[in-house]
Amino acid sequence: MSDDFRILICGDLDYEEMVVDIIWKGHTVGIVTIENGPEKMEFEIYNHPEGFKWKFPLDDFLKIIDWAKRELISEYPIKQNNSND
C-alpha cells in the first residue's frame, strides 16, 4: 500500500460513534462511519480542497478503506440487548 494514504481514528461532533478519516497526501478524502452499525457502514467523500478530482491507485484505495473498516469495527462497542436494563 502506498505511503501516501493514512487513516486517523477520531470522534466527530456530527456522529455518536467513532469515525475514520481517510487521508491522502495530507488531504482528507473522506470519512468511514459506523453510525448505523458494522453491517451498514458508510463512506462520505469530501471535495478536494483545491477543486481537483481525486485520483489515486484503486488497489491502494481499496486497501486503505478495508483497513479503516477493520479498525473502526475493532473500536465499535458491542451493544447487547438486555431486557433487565
Q: What is the pTM of this model?
A: 0.81
Count of domains observed in the chain: 1
Q: Is residue 83 part of a domain?
A: no
Res. 12: pLDDT tops 70:
yes
Q: Is residue 84 part of a domain?
A: no
Instruction: Give residue 18's identity as a one-letter amino acid code.
Output: M
Q: How far is CA 67 from CA 42, 51, 53, 70, 71, in A?
A: 14, 27, 23, 5, 6
Q: Is residue 47 part of a domain?
A: yes
Domain extent for 44: 5-75
Q: Is residue 42 part of a domain?
A: yes
Q: Is residue 12 part of a domain?
A: yes
pLDDT per residue as tens digits for the range 15-72: 888 899 999 999 999 999 999 899 999 999 999 999 999 999 999 999 999 999 999 9
Res. 78: pLDDT tops 80:
no
CA–CA separation, 49 vs 19, rounded Å?
20
24: helix, strand or coil: strand
Q: Is residue 36 part of a domain?
A: yes
Res. 84: pLDDT tops 70:
no
The whole-number pLDDT of residue 24 equals 94
Instruction: Indicate the DSSP class of residue 47.
Output: P
Q: Is residue 82 part of a domain?
A: no
CA–CA separation, 82 vs 51, rounded Å?
49
Count each helix (H run) and each strand (E run) in the chain, helices first: 1, 4
Q: Is residue 60 part of a domain?
A: yes
